[in-house]
Chains A and B, each alone.
Chain A
Amino acid sequence: EIVLTQSPGTLSLSPGERATLSCRASQSVSSSYLAWYQQKPGQAPRLLIYGASSRATGIPDRFSGSGSGTDFTLTISRLEPEDFAVYYCQQYGSSPETFGQGTKVEIK
């Protein structure tokens, strides 16, 4: 089983600042099948990034993903008020398709 470790656990930033979230895998993620999701309280997750770096339909270009192998990054270039949420990575290259524990981006 691939274990995904996200860091930091909480990121305290102000609107307009840049957010950098990390997702590290215990083994190489097959074919960069790594996705990022955003979840707000009481809501279902929303797909932001798939294939490590491809933005999902309708996702603003301030969200970008990068990385390969075992190290992946989600960057939000300038935080908007609606971006404060919990972010999860998921690898879907091998079974079980595990999730990280999440990074909470909160308003400073």
Chain B
Amino acid sequence: DGGITQSPKYLFRKEGQNVTLSCEQNLNHDAMYWYRQDPGQGLRLIYYSQIVNDFQNGDIAEGYSVSREKKESFPLTVTSAQKNPTAFYLCASSIWQISNQPQHFGDGTRLSIL
């Protein structure tokens, strides 16, 4: 089955610690995205990548970092510089540059601070 896999489903971070959220897709999509969702709010774009070895800041990139070394993988690191990391994180992918192709989402990772 083609899709996007995010792991882990739940993650806990201690103060001052970096954590990495995994996102893997087998849809052969070029573009991948990371979003953050806070309660009662929409999806805010953290980073996105159009092709391997390239990525762009989204609207709230501060305190996060990403890499895109393989087409199928787009891990997100929440660094200690992110002062309010508790949120629901969603990864998505899509066919690049075809507007009417929607994004396909994983089931998310919920990050909490210990």
Q: Do A and B come from one complex?
A: no
Point out residues on B near A: beta carbons under 8 Å: none
Point out residues on A near B: beta carbons under 8 Å: none
